[in-house]
């Protein structure tokens, strides 16, 4: 329903915003904040981060000539106010819904999104690339990157700053310091920023602003220059950003538009050669009391009641896979002091917060630094510890080189707990766990397991505790299990052994992961049509249960593999085995059902798996097509 806003109703693009009197910009910000709270209460999504940058967003679009000037948001989950002001206000209630607005910045969605971002710490690198392209094209447009205090702690951000400082290319970096990423920021950068803040020098005072920002011009007096150098030294201690080649100003109150506007204008008009760092201090969840008071400042929320702040939960009593993992690991850690937990800034998302409460000295949150997390885990493993690196599938991609070189080649027993495997819903393709089966199963010295339900997850954790001569990985999805009874922590699985769920004579389904329930439904449907189905829970993508697979191949006319992963994974390994053993020469019809060779956009998981062709109806259809040669080609060995 359209609200009766004094200013926002007439603002559809930044060009409209720039017509507003500067004295009314805070009112615009207040209305943007209200609209964002109202929209997210209906859709769910990332709330706290966006609320914290409302004034900054208004100021940036007011001062800079977007989209000619390029504005890049790190991660992108704080871009909701940006979307409201850049032609997407009328669609803001479609956030994270099927065919709706992305929860992140997205190039195909708007010309105001020059770079798509859904993983952190990419903004400075991409902004520098755009700035260098501008230099080559003799363009004078500005490039602005907004990065948070959590994201700037990542190695990629340091690499980008190092390159930017050496390049002498003009770009503007806004360091949004809100003392809160997804979890509490950790590490030396956090301590460093805190020291800057506690220096109590704010450039929000008009006199100080005028003095500091005058340094952006080459025409300033020697006296002013010396004073400016003194103040910068007092705040920064002489230090990191300046030594990297950035002109540093701050910290500045990021909610005070009377401070932000003149500073941004001076940065815009500066003839300074090289990158400029403007350090602002903001409050995550700003302007919504329930978010301000929450421990996570309402980073990610489900639909909620605006008046009470109460979030509307799903109502399911089924156990979440993440909690099953965490609670099982805690039980083992009580018996085994060598078990330690590692997470990369996602303690709540991975369940490591539960582990950390029980064992505060044995849980390590290394910040947004997946590469470091993996090699740090490898170091622990060399000393006889049993590290569990709990990392989302999509984020583990960022550390693949470390998985290969620092873990697999050395055959170190790092245990990877891979959360959010498969399609994840509203976060869309950027957060889907599509590739881990493929990128891990191709590595020597790896055990790769996929849980079909929460009971199997427990058994796999139990099994992994005793894998001490090689790395292992357990993948499991977002959301809740099926409600089966959980086994004790003593119940284990023989490495590389699948499990026959039901026996038939015509078709064998090899299922890896949680599509097993859909396979059971498909088998019942086919049974009514007189078709006899064997279902195997493969459990392992590596090592394969070769004996079981070969026996099934010899005893059935058709074999279908099903997995919640990309082409090149479990099905490819099975096909290679069958080919090498000459099974196709004997007439076996074989098909792999995987995620399609495309990125699947956001929707609810049920619809996403339908788009992927992996629901029970589509499994049934595939089997019927193969059995009766409809649109089907027999696989024959060359």
Q: Give the whole-angstrom CA distance, residue 76 versus residue 109.
A: 13
Rounded to 5 degrees, what are φ and ψ at 89?
Answer: -60, -40
**What does the angle CA 329 – CA 333 – CA 335 come to, to the nearest 5 degrees?**
125
CB atoms within 10 A of CB 580: 9
| Strand ranges in 203-310 using DSSP code E only, listed in sequence order | 247-253, 276-281, 300-301
**What does the angle CA 284 – CA 290 – CA 294 come to, to the nearest 5 degrees?**
60
Edge-to-edge strand ranges of the sheet holding 339-343: 363-365, 339-343, 386-392, 415-419, 472-475, 447-450, 540-542
CB atoms within 10 A of CB 523: 23
CB atoms within 10 A of CB 140: 10
Q: Give the whole-angstrom CA distance, residue 320 versus residue 346.
A: 16
Asked if residues 219 and 272 have their Cβ atoms less than 8 Å apart, the reply is no
Nearest to 464 by CA among 396, 388, 407: 388
Q: Give the whole-angstrom CA distance, residue 518 versus residue 395.
A: 27
Tokens of 378: 């490898």
Rounded to 5 degrees, what are φ and ψ at 363?
Answer: -120, 130
Nearest to 417 by CA among 340, 338, 494: 340
Start-to-end C-alpha separation, the chain: 63
Q: Give the whole-angstrom CA distance, residue 177 versus residue 253.
A: 10
Q: Give the whole-angstrom CA distance, residue 166 versus residue 275.
A: 9
Torsion of CA 22, 23, 24, 26, to 10 degrees: 100
The CA-atom distances, in angstroms, between 11 and each of 80, 258, 487 are 15, 21, 58
CB atoms within 10 A of CB 381: 24
Asked if residues 157 and 124 have their Cβ atoms less than 8 Å apart, the reply is yes
In a 3-state reduction of DSSP, which class is residue 562? strand
Q: Give the whole-angstrom CA distance, residue 530 versus residue 512.
A: 25
Tokens 């990157």 locate to 145
Nearest to 408 by CA among 362, 454, 471: 471
In a 3-state reduction of DSSP, which class is residue 350? helix
- What amino acid positions are annotated as catalytic residues? 284, 370, 398
Torsion of CA 563, 564, 565, 566, to 10 degrees: 80
Edge-to-edge strand ranges of the sheet holding 507-512: 499-502, 533-537, 507-512, 558-563, 589-593
Q: Give the whole-angstrom CA distance, residue 278 versus residue 100.
A: 33
- What single-letter DSSP state applies at residue 90? G
């Amino acid at each position: 329903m359209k609200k009766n806003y004094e200013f926002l109703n007439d603002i559809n693009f930044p060009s409209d915003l720039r017509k507003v009197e500067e004295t009314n910009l805070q009112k615009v910000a207040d209305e943007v904040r209200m609209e964002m709270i109202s929209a997210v209460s209906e859709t769910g999504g990332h709330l706290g981060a966006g609320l914290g940058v409302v004034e900054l967003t208004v100021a940036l679009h007011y001062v800079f000539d977007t989209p000619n000037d390029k504005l890049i948001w790190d991660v992108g989950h704080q871009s909701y106010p940006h979307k409201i002001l850049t032609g997407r206000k009328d669609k803001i209630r479609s956030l994270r819904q099927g065919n709706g607005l992305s929860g992140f910045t997205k190039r195909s969605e708007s010309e105001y999104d020059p770079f798509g971002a859904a993983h952190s710490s990419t903004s400075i690198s991409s902004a520098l690339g755009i700035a260098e392209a501008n230099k080559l094209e003799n363009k004078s447009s500005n490039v602005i990157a907004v990065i948070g205090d959590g994201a700037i702690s990542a190695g990629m951000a340091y690499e980008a700053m190092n390159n930017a400082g050496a390049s002498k290319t003009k770009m503007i970096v806004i360091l949004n310091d809100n003392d809160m990423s997804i979890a509490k920021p950790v590490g030396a950068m956090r301590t460093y920023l805190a020291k800057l803040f506690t220096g109590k020098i704010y450039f929000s005072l008009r006199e100080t602003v005028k003095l500091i920002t005058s340094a952006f011009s080459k025409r300033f007096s020697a006296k002013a220059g010396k004073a400016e150098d003194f103040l910068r030294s007092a705040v920064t201690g002489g230090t990191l950003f300046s030594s990297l080649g950035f002109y540093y100003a701050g910290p500045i109150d990021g909610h005070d538009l009377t401070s932000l506007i003149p500073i941004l204008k001076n940065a815009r008009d500066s003839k300074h050669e090289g990158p400029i760092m403007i350090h602002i201090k903001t409050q995550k969840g700003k302007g919504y009391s329930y978010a301000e008071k929450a421990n996570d400042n309402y980073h990610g929320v489900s639909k909620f009641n605006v008046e009470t702040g109460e979030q509307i939960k799903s109502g399911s009593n089924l156990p979440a896979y993440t909690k099953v993992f965490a609670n099982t690991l805690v039980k083992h850690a009580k018996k085994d002091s060598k078990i330690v937990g590692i997470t990369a800034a996602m303690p709540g998302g991975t369940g490591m917060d539960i582990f950390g409460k029980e064992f505060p000295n044995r849980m390590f949150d290394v910040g947004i630094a997946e590469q470091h997390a993996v090699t740090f885990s490898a170091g622990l493993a060399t000393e006889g510890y049993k590290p569990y690196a709990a990392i989302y599938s999509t984020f583990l991609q960022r550390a693949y080189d470390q998985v290969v070189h620092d873990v697999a080649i050395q055959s170190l027993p790092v245990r990877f707990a891979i959360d959010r495997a498969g399609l994840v819903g509203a976060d869309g393709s950027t957060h889907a766990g599509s590739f881990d089966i493929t990128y891990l199963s191709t590595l020597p010295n790896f055990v790769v397991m996929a849980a079909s339900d929460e009971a199997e997850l427990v058994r796999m954790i139990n099994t992994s505790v005793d894998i001490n001569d090689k790395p292992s990985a357990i993948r499991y999805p977002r959301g809740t299990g099926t409600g089966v009874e959980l086994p004790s922590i003593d119940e284990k699985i023989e490495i590389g052994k699948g499990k026959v769920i039901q026996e038939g004579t015509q078709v064998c389904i090899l299922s890896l992961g949680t599509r097993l329930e859909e396979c059971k439904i498909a088998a019942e449907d086919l049974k009514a049509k007189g078709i006899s189905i064997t279902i195997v829970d493969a459990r392992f993508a590596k090592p394969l249960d070769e004996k079981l697979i070969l026996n099934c191949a010899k005893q059935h006319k058709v074999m279908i593999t099903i997995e919640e992963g990309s082409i090149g994974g479990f099905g490819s390994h099975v096909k290679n085995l069958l080919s090498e053993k000459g099974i196709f020469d004997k007439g076996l019809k074989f098909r792999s059902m995987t995620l399609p060779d495309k990125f699947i956009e956001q929707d609810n998981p049920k619809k996403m798996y339908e788009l992927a062709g992996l629901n029970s109806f589509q499994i049934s259809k595939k089997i019927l097509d193969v059995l009766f040669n409809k649109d089907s080609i027999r696989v024959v060995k060359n």
